[in-house]
Amino acid sequence: MGYRFSDLTDACQDDWRAYIEHPFVRELGNGTLGEGAFRHYLQQDYLFLIHFARAYALAAFKSRTLADLRQAHEGLKAILDVELDLHIGYCRDWGISEEDLATLPEARATLAYTRYVLDTGQRGDLLDLHVALAPCLVGYGVIANWLNAQSFTVRGNANPYDAWIAMYESDEFQAAMNDELAWLDARLAEVTPRRFNELVEVFRDATRLEIDFWQMGLDRAS
Ligand SMILES: Cc1ncc(C[n+]2csc(CCO)c2C)c(N)n1
């Protein structure tokens, strides 16, 4: 007993590294990622964000304390009032209109990942849901920090994807990631080994689905 978040990543190190250091991420970092791959990713990520907002609504429903309910409400508001507008603006910069976004067919990787998270939350409790969301919330902050530590990463105007890295390295995003890490560390400190193993399974599944999401971008898979 006495687990923490890093025990989850330690328990599925190969998958975690394959996600954080995915070729899509490396190509974002050195600026060589194909524009078509990035556009496909952006489009599917719009659908992803909508379902992610639903997952926060589910977190509200699953909350047993006022503090957890408020936290879920803040997450839902952040996506609906901030993230989605930013994303729509970002898509516009990349030549994707709101009309395009409204009529997008959902790719299988998006379907699989988002519905897995929602199902995990419905089947389990609030901790299951947070663990299913962790590769997304924590992972993107870890990826931005990892990219910044790599010598191949190109920053500034020379990299068309610089704004993407900047978004996830921002103090605001890193603070949200650290809040989530503190929440997870506090909850994981109390779980039994048996429960921890269940949570590792959820974390590994969600991490693999993030890998598939990157790969979908590279393959432009539908
Ligand atoms: C496939 C995919 N995985 C993770 C994120 C990152 N992300 C989405 S919502 C959110 C938290 C918002 O409060 C974060 C970090 C993404 N955009 N797309």
Using alpha carbons, list the distances in angstroms from residue 98 to 32, 47, 81, 101, 218.
Answer: 26, 12, 16, 5, 23
Mean pLDDT of the chain: 96
Say how many Å lie between the CA of residue 34 and the centre of ligand 1.
21
Question: Token pair of 96, please?
Answer: 């994707």
Tell me how many domains the chain contains. 1
Residue 32 φ/ψ, nearest 5 degrees:
-95, 0
The response to whether residue 24 sits with its C-beta less than 6 Å from ligand 1 reads no
Residue among 12, 91, 136, 180 flagged as catalytic: 136
Q: Count Cα atoms within 13 angstroms, Cβ side, for 99.
A: 1
Question: What number is the average pLDDT over the span 131-142?
Answer: 97
DSSP H stretches of helix in the chain:
5-11, 13-20, 23-30, 35-62, 66-77, 84-93, 98-102, 108-123, 126-148, 162-169, 171-188, 193-219
Q: Which atom of ligand 1 is nearest to the CA of 44?
A: 1
**The tokens of 150 are what?**
């790599």
Residue 41 predicted with pLDDT over 80: yes
Q: Is 12 a catalytic residue?
A: no
CATH of the domain at 182: 1.20.910.10
- Choose one of 25, 71, 137 to mutate for the ligand 1 pocket test, by most ligand atoms within 8 angstroms of C-beta: 137
- Range(s) of the domain holding residue 47: 5-219
Rounded Cα distance, 57 and 170, in Å: 25
Specify the pLDDT at position 222.
Answer: 85
- Which of 48, 54, 74, 91 has most ligand 1 atoms within 8 Å of CB, for mutation? 48
The predicted model gives 161-172 an average pLDDT of 94
Average pLDDT of span 131-154: 97
State the Cα–Cα distance between residues 219 and 206, nearest whole angstrom.
20
For the full predicted model, state whether its pTM sits above 0.80: yes
Q: Residue 1: which pLDDT band, with cuts at 50, 70 and 90? A: low
Cβ-in-10-Å burial (0-12, 13-18, 19+) of 156 comes to exposed
Per-residue pLDDT at 221 exceeds 90: no
State the Cα–Cα distance between residues 219 and 26, nearest whole angstrom.
15
In angstroms, the CA 84 to CA 27 distance is 24
Query: Are residues 58 and 64 in contact, defined by beta-carbon separation less than 8 angstroms?
Result: no
Question: Residue 78: CB within 6 Å of ligand 1?
Answer: yes
Q: ipTM of this predicted complex?
A: 0.95
Question: In this predicted model, what pLDDT tens digit does every residue of 68-98 receive, in sequence order?
Answer: 999 999 999 999 998 899 899 999 999 999 9
Whether the CB-CB separation of 11 and 72 falls below 8 Å is answered with: no
Ligand 1: centre distance to CA 98 (Å): 19
What's the pLDDT at 12? 98
List the catalytic residue out of 12, 91, 180, 210. Answer: 210
Calculate what percentage of the chain has a pLDDT beyond 90.
97
